[in-house]
Amino acid sequence: MSTVEQKSTERRIARRHLIIGGARVQAADGRTLIDYDPATGEPLAEIPRASAADVDRAVAAARNALESKEWGHLAPADRARLLYRFSEMIRQNQEELARLESQDVGKPLREARADAAVCARYFAYYAGVADKISGQTIPMPEGFLAYTVREPMGVSAHIVPWNYPLQITGRGVGAALACGNTVVVKPSSEAPLSVIRLAELALEAGLPPGVINVITGTGGEAGEALASHPGVNQITFTGSVSTGSRVMELAARNCVPVTMELGGKSPQIVFDDADLTEAVPAIARGIFQNCGQTCSAGSRVIVQRRLHDPLVEALVERARTLRLGPGLSDPDMGPLVSDRQFERVTGYIEIGRNEGARVVTGGKRPDDPSLARGYFFEPTILDGVSNSWRVAQEEIFGPVLVVITFDDLEEVIQLANETEYGLVAGVWTRDIKKAHHVAAKVKAGQVFINTYGAGGGIELPFGGYKKSGFGREKGMEGLQAYSQVKTVCIKYQ
Ligand code: NAD
């Protein structure tokens, strides 16, 4: 494309803004980035490229709101009312949010609609908690009274990846606001659009300016400035292990606590007494949803030998029927988010072949010429995989399922646990003893038995063992990171 053509394309695209202290603003130095449409590879929006100066402004706005009459001194029941109103506002604008996220991430519209609905539910769920966060009284010798109160952390920073911007922002920000914090959210520059709109809706719902601020830009610049900012009191990071480690280093300099929601290589353990009519659709959904770009994707099937052939046959048949297309056309599977992600997935197929895997379906870009410009990749199954191979150990983050075979119970537990990750595990069996045995022995933050995922799992504590991270989001457990305990002790005799 010539420079003139590029300029004219870019002129037609929407220009977005940061949200700081309730205002829509550009980066202080006026720099911008282009956000691309993964279905076409064309520019989709121009977004501000925030620098450290913009992060300063956002943290200061969050601090002001924290100390304001309108938020910091609000009665908990009034905070709850605002969060309910926000939840309803998200619901009313669900279609707009879903379309933004579908186009930006590339996910099928129906998945994006579900994400927007889940985002609304997080705010409703945590609204219900806002006026029930209480401390304890502690038994002490006569003449003493001791009690605890839970206070907000202060300014809470949320560094969000590109794969589920609405859900991940909802789960963290919902819990943070319920506890009385204010937030600065940094979405990924690959997919920031739904989060910017979410913050606008918060203002329309009546949340005071500065309670939710949004900074867009690169991870290396805006992300680092936020993670190392001395005015931030708590950080919730969701993303890759390497970036998470860097965020921990930066946060450590200011002694700021972090929650780390990192990657996974989650096993789907299928015993030979499993009900395949239930297991097959759930396993396929667990890997092909959002084109495999899901931290909790069940990307490793470990199947008992007798059921190997029927299971693989059924999964291949299912994978071959999936329709691919741009997210907004609501296909079964959209494109990968970026060319970088496309290269990564393609590279892993090559690695798998070299390691000895059989590509039983997929493994390449689809032949359909109408999809040639986007980052589409066929649903892929690699069979005959050994658990020690790279394709079984590393997070591919694409629509690639690896199949490993096992013979007995102790072997499958060992295989399931032999990775650096421990986010989720699925167990498929009709034998309740086996199911509980595996649930007890598997090292993962969540275990699903004869199901996988649970409609977003708003109420279910979620987080990792090992390199999948630490701290928990979602459910009541998700509140822990966003408040701190003060103990008061009085001698009255
Ligand atoms: P990423 O680590 O590249 O980026 C995550 C966020 O960090 C983005 O907003 C990015 O801009 C920012 N960032 C990048 N470099 C930074 C730096 N040096 N300092 C501060 N911030 C920086 O991850 P991604 O590619 O956006 O997302 C995919 C990864 O996220 C996968 O590994 C996936 O498993 C993980 N993930 C985990 C969960 C979970 O809940 N456990 C959920 C979704 C995604």
Ligand 1 atom showing the smallest separation from residue 187 Cα: 9
Q: How confident is the model at residue 54 (pLDDT cuts 50, 70, 90)?
A: very high
Q: Are 83 and 174 in contact (CB under 8 A)?
A: yes
Q: How far is the CA of 398 from the centre of ligand 1 (A)?
A: 15
User: In this predicted structure, what is the pLDDT of residue 18?
Assistant: 98
What is the Cα–Cα distance from 20 to 474, expressed in whole angstroms? 26
User: In this predicted structure, what is the pLDDT of residue 455?
Assistant: 61
- Token pair for 372: 């040639």
Q: DSSP code of 128?
A: T
User: In this predicted structure, what is the pLDDT of residue 454?
Assistant: 64
Sequence-distant (6+) residues with CB within 8 A of 150 are 133, 134, 135, 179, 483, 484, 485, 486
Ligand 1 atom showing the smallest separation from residue 243 Cα: 2
**What domains can you pick out in the chain, each with its CATH number?**
3-262+472-486 (3.40.605.10), 267-457 (3.40.309.10)
Q: Find the range with the poorest average confidence among 8-12, 129-133, 325-329, 378-382.
A: 8-12
pLDDT at 100 over 90: yes
Q: What is the pLDDT of residues 249-301, one digit of tens each?
A: 999 999 999 999 999 999 999 999 999 999 999 999 999 999 999 999 999 99
Q: What is the mean pLDDT of the chain?
A: 96
User: In this predicted structure, what is the pLDDT of residue 340?
Assistant: 96
Q: What is the pLDDT of residues 286-341, one digit of tens each?
A: 999 999 999 999 999 999 999 999 999 999 999 999 999 999 999 999 999 999 99
Q: How far is the CA of 395 from the centre of ligand 1 (A)?
A: 13
Q: Which residues line ligand 1 (CB under 6 A)?
A: 159-164, 168, 186, 188-189, 219-220, 223-224, 227, 238-240, 243, 246-247, 261-264, 295, 395, 397, 423, 469
Q: How confident is the model at residue 12 (pLDDT cuts 50, 70, 90)?
A: confident
pLDDT at 169 over 50: yes
Q: What is the pLDDT of residues 396-432, one digit of tens each?
A: 999 999 999 999 999 999 999 999 999 999 999 999 9
User: In this predicted structure, what is the pLDDT of residue 6?
Assistant: 47
Identify the residue whose C-alpha is closest to ligand 1 atom 20: 223
User: In this predicted structure, what is the pLDDT of residue 8?
Assistant: 42
User: In this predicted structure, what is the pLDDT of residue 243?
Assistant: 98
What is the Cα–Cα distance from 395 to 299, expressed in whole angstroms? 8
SS3 443: coil
Identify the residue whose C-alpha is closest to ligand 1 atom 43: 295
Q: What is the pLDDT of residues 16-27, one digit of tens each?
A: 999 999 999 999
Nearest to 176 by CA among 153, 195, 159: 153
**Residues forming beta bridges with residue 157, ordered by sequence position:** 184, 235
Q: How far is the CA of 242 from the centre of ligand 1 (A)?
A: 9
The mean pLDDT of 32-54, rounded to a whole number, is 97
Tell me phi and psi for residue 289, to 5 degrees: -55, 140
Hunting for tokens 């500065």 — which residue is that?
Answer: 210
User: In this predicted structure, what is the pLDDT of residue 453?
Assistant: 86
Q: At what angle do helices 76-92 and 165-178 cross, to 10 degrees?
A: 160
What is the Cα–Cα distance from 183 to 175, expressed in whole angstroms? 11
pTM assigned to the model: 0.96
What is the Cα–Cα distance from 90 to 57, expressed in whole angstroms? 26
User: In this predicted structure, what is the pLDDT of residue 456?
Assistant: 66
Catalytic residues: 261, 295
240 dihedral zone (left: phi>0; alpha: psi -120 to 50; beta): beta
Identify the residue whose C-alpha is closest to ligand 1 atom 38: 295
pLDDT at 384 over 50: yes
Q: Express as a percent the part of the chain with pLDDT over 90.
A: 96
User: In this predicted structure, what is the pLDDT of residue 1?
Assistant: 40
Q: How far is the CA of 145 from the centre of ligand 1 (A)?
A: 45
Q: How far is the CA of 217 from the centre of ligand 1 (A)?
A: 13
Q: Express as a percent the part of the chain with pLDDT over 70.
A: 97
Q: What is the pLDDT of residues 429-487, one digit of tens each?
A: 999 999 999 999 999 999 999 999 866 689 999 999 999 999 999 999 999 999 999 99
User: In this predicted structure, what is the pLDDT of residue 22?
Assistant: 98
